[in-house]
């Protein structure tokens, strides 16, 4: 079947099967979450222990969808400004464009294909130091003539007149910034400014009993059109009023985040309108490819549950008594779907999760994946006196 006749739902199912036949082990929901995140925001973080396929996934997706191979930018620990990313003016008064700025220009000049810039091991240096201008420009977006949304010009420094064209360069709608993160004690943590602007997808689970035998012949690409990967809406206000499904998704998101914020406000970690917009639009985009949000065993994964885990839980870091109470209330909320109490005792729920083998998803919970991660965070707080979303 020609890909032009396929919906995004059918194209994604084909992509997942192609990756499986290539011999790589990813959960279908991880691939679906990656594609859906790209279609929601231009900035995605793939986190996890070394060797779990964080850099491989963007390369596979690009190859199998007929897009250019990701351009890799290797972060160095000594980066403390945006010189290597966006550029600098040398001693001869010539502007030297940075690697990411050059990739923006390449993508903007090739609007019919979707490009990926892979920021490898991005937390070797403090992201907010070398990525500050990009983090700001990601928020200032306008509709692009080729579809989707582009940022305002990203370069804030003055450059020589002969290089002035670089000051007009923007993040085009056909370019995603994908960062990989190794989670260990030697790397930097992320600030809320970074976490608020990215979708964080974890690729840490390793099960050696799972296997995938590659076919004798490497899978050929099934080219996607660029609009299949570009963001259709960046804010709630961008969603067409004629869409009949979105109001229900927005109402469900508003209700859930309101109840979550009643707990988060106690430790001053509450979420704002940006998170509301991203969670609801991710869920909306996810419903379009809902059949791919599943485990390898076929168990359904709720995009709303996943979005809450990705956008809310990474904010929860520390050792305070207030955080302890917030976690207790969130565990109750994620398990029962009812308002959580700051004074609830999560011992029974956490013990049940542990006795069940510490799964990544708790069957029967209102928010199965969120509940499982909260139990893990609670257990770490109990054992170490400190907790965070990261392992």
Whether residue 194 is found in the same domain as residue 284: no
Q: What total of structural domains would you count in the chain?
A: 2
Task: Give the residue numbers spanning the domain of 123.
Answer: 3-202
Q: Residue 92 falls within a domain, yes or no?
A: yes
- Averaged pLDDT for residues 352-364: 95
pLDDT band at 2 (very low <50, low <70, confident <90, very high): very low
Whether residue 61 is found in the same domain as residue 107: yes
User: What is the three-class DSSP state of 115?
Assistant: strand
pLDDT at site 1: 43
**CA–CA distance, 351 with 368 (Å, rounded to integer):** 15
157 CB contacts (<8 Å, ≥6 apart)? 86, 88, 89
pLDDT at site 87: 95
- Averaged pLDDT for residues 211-230: 74
User: What is the three-class DSSP state of 119?
Assistant: strand
pLDDT exceeds cutoff 90 at 211: no
Q: Residue 301 falls within a domain, yes or no?
A: yes
Q: Residue 107 falls within a domain, yes or no?
A: yes
pLDDT exceeds cutoff 60 at 216: no
pLDDT digits (tens, 9 = 90+) for 41-87: 999 999 988 877 899 999 999 999 999 999 999 999 999 999 999 99
Residue 98, domain CATH: 3.40.50.300
Whether residue 193 is found in the same domain as residue 79: yes
pLDDT exceeds cutoff 60 at 3: no
Contact between residue 271 and residue 257 where contact means Cβ atoms under 8 Å apart: yes
Contact between residue 362 and residue 353 where contact means Cβ atoms under 8 Å apart: yes
How high is the mean pLDDT of the chain?
Answer: 92
pLDDT exceeds cutoff 80 at 146: yes
pLDDT digits (tens, 9 = 90+) for 325-335: 999 999 999 99
Q: Residue 325 falls within a domain, yes or no?
A: yes
pLDDT at site 206: 64
Whether residue 282 is found in the same domain as residue 363: yes
pLDDT at site 215: 60
Whether residue 135 is found in the same domain as residue 254: no
pLDDT at site 28: 96
């Amino acid at each position: 079947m020609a890909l032009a006749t396929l919906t995004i739902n059918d194209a994604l199912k084909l992509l997942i099967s192609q990756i499986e036949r290539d011999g790589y082990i990813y959960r279908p929901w991880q691939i679906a979450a990656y594609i859906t995140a790209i279609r929601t925001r231009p900035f995605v973080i793939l986190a996890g222990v070394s060797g779990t396929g964080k850099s491989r996934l963007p390369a596979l997706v690009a190859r199998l969808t007929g897009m250019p191979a990701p351009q890799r930018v290797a972060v160095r620990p000594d980066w403390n400004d945006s010189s290597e990313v966006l550029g600098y003016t040398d001693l001869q008064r010539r502007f030297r464009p940075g690697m990411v700025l050059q990739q923006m220009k390449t993508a903007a000049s090739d609007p019919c294909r979707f490009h990926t810039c892979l920021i490898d091991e991005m937390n070797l240096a403090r992201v907010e130091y070398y990525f500050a201008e990009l983090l700001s420009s990601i928020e200032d977006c306008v509709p692009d003539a080729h579809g989707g949304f582009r940022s305002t010009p990203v370069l804030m420094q003055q450059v020589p007149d002969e290089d002035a064209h670089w000051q007009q360069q923007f993040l085009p709608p056909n370019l995603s910034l994908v960062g990989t993160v190794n989670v260990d004690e030697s790397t930097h943590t992320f600030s809320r400014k970074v976490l608020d602007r990215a979708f964080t997808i974890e690729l840490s689970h390793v099960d050696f009993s799972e296997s995938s035998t590659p076919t004798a012949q490497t899978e050929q690409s099934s080219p996607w059109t660029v609009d299949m990967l570009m963001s259709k809406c960046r804010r709630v206000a961008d969603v067409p009023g004629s869409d009949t499904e979105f109001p229900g998704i927005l109402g469900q998101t508003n209700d859930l985040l309101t109840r979550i914020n009643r707990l988060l406000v106690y430790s001053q970690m509450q979420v704002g309108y940006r998170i509301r917009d991203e969670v609801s639009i991710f869920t909306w985009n996810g419903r379009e490819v809902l059949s791919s949000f599943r485990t390898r065993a076929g168990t359904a994964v709720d995009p709303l549950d996943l979005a809450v885990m990705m956008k809310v839980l990474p904010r929860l870091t520390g050792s305070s008594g207030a955080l302890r109470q917030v976690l207790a209330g969130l565990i109750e909320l994620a398990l029962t779907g009812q308002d959580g109490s700051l004074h609830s005792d999560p011992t029974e729920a956490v013990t049940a999760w542990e006795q069940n083998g510490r799964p990544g998803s708790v069957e029967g919970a209102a928010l199965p994946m969120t509940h499982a991660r909260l139990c893990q965070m609670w257990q770490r707080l109990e054992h170490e006196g400190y907790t965070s979303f990261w392992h």
